[in-house]
Amino acid sequence: MAVATLKPHLAAQIYDNIFDRIYQASEFRDIFNGRFEGNYYNNTSDSGSSYHDFVIDDPPRIFTYERVSAQYLLKVALPNKFAFRRFLYFLKTNFTLRFRKKQIYLHHSDPSATYFKGQALGAKREHYFKKFYNYATKVSFYKVELGTEAAVSSFVRRLENLFDLRHIDMTGEHGISAEILPKMAKVFAKLPCFDVDARTFIAILEESTVSFPHLEYLKLVGNIKRINKIVTTSERFPLLRAVEIVPEDMMHETNKLIFAENPFPTIKNFTLSIDDNADDAFTEADFELIKNWLKKFPSLTEAKIVIKKWIFEYPHDDPKREERLHAAFQSTDFGGAYLDLTFHVECDSYGPHEELEERFACFEYDDRFKYSTFIHNDSMPGKKFEHILNLKLDW
C-alpha cells in the first residue's frame, strides 16, 4: 500500500505551527494548574510592577516573568530528528537567552500579554534543559551581576561557547562595565546584528580596539548628545551596511541632532525614528534639517525617517501652511539616496470641528469622534512622503 509523504517544507510548517500552539496552550495550562510554585515562577524586587496570583488571599508579589513549562514541547520534539530540528528552530526564532542579574533563562517577550512583562521557558530537570541555551542566536542583558573575576570569565566563556550567536541587545540596563567590554572581543567579532545604547557604544569605540568584522546591522539608542559624538571606521566595521537610530528621551529638540561628519562611512541603509516635544508643527525648515542629515552619509542609498511631534495646540493662523509644506517636499532635492519620510503630529487641542473640511482638503480624513486623523501621501522619483495629523477636536 502506498504511503503518502509530506514534502519537507510542508512538514516544517506543520511542526512550526504545532510548537507555537503547544507553547500557547502550555502558558494557560500552567496558569490554571497553579504552576507558579517552585521552579515555575521567578521573581525579584526591582521590576517595578506587582502581580496578584489567581489564588485567593495570596499576597501580592513583584514579578519578573512567567515561567512556562517545556514539558509538552519536548514530548513532540524528541521522538525524531526532523521534529528536534524544528524545535531548535522554534527556540532560535522565538526566544532570547536572557542574562538577568545572576539568572540565565530563555526569554520570550509577548507584546500582547496583559499581566506579564515576559515569559521564560523552563523544565523540571533544569540542568538538562540548560543544554538548549547553547542554541540561542540572540542574547540580552539586565543588570548582570559580575562581582568577581571568576564570574566575568564564566560569563564571557558562556557567550563564546554559543553555537550560532548572531544578535546581542545591550540597549537596556545591562550592567556590563566598560572594563568588561574588551574581554568580549571574540563575542563581538561574531555578530552580524548589534543593538546597543550610545554610552556603551562610545565606550567600545574610545576605550578599546574591539572590531566588528561581521557586523551588518547596528541599532543605537540613547540621548542626542551622545549620538552626535559617534563615528565608526571602515577598518573596525568593514561590513556595516545598515544603521537604525532611536533617541530614547522625549525632552529633546529634533534640530539638536546633527551627527558627526561621515559617522558611518560604509552604510547603505539608514533608519531614524525620533519623537519631539515641540512648540510648533512641521515647517519647510524641517526639510532642510533632513537634507543636512543625509549629507553626512555619502554612501547612503536608502533612508527611512519618521519624526513625530507632540504639540499642545495646532496653529490656526496660516490656513495654507500644509499646502506650502507639501509643495516644499516636492521641490526639495534630498540627494541621491531614496527617502521614505513620515511627518506625524499628535495634538491635544485643535479647535472647532467645522474648520476641518476646508483647512485640510489636501488630506484623507478619518473621523474618530474626539480625534480626527488626516493623512496626506505623496510619491515622486527618489522620495516618498506621508504627513499624518492626529488632532483632538472641540465639538
More confident residue, 113 or 133: 133
For residue 302, the model assigns a pLDDT of: 98
For residue 43, the model assigns a pLDDT of: 39
pLDDT at 54 over 50: no
CB 126 within 8 A of CB 104: no
Average of per-residue pLDDT values in the chain = 84
Residues 6+ apart with CB under 8 A from 116: 51, 63, 65, 66, 110
CB 195 within 8 A of CB 168: yes
What are 272-326's pLDDT values in tens digits?
999 998 888 999 999 999 999 999 999 999 999 999 999 888 877 788 899 999 9
Q: Output the CA torsion sign for 155, 160, 162, 164.
A: positive
Tell me how far CA of residue 33 lies from CA of 60, 72, 112, 313, in angstroms. Answer: 19, 14, 22, 52
Collapsing DSSP to helix, strand or coil, 336 comes out as: coil
Residue 389 and residue 373: Cα distance in Å, rounded? Answer: 6
- Average pLDDT for 228-234: 96
In DSSP notation, 171-236 reads: -S-----TTTGGGGHHHHTT-SEEEEEHHHHHHHHHH-----TT--EEEEEE-HHHHHH----TTT
What are 56-100's pLDDT values in tens digits?
344 444 445 567 788 889 999 999 999 999 999 999 999 999 999
pLDDT at 222 over 70: yes
Residues 6+ apart with CB under 8 A from 150: none
What are 239-254's pLDDT values in tens digits?
999 999 999 876 667 8
- Among candidate residues 257, 331, 316, 332, the one with its CA nearest the CA of residue 281: 316
Residue 294 and residue 291: Cα distance in Å, rounded? Answer: 5
At 91, the amino acid letter reads L
% the chain with pLDDT above 90: 59
C-alpha cell at 257: 541632532
- Among candidate residues 308, 272, 264, the one with its CA nearest the CA of residue 290: 272
pLDDT at 392 over 90: no
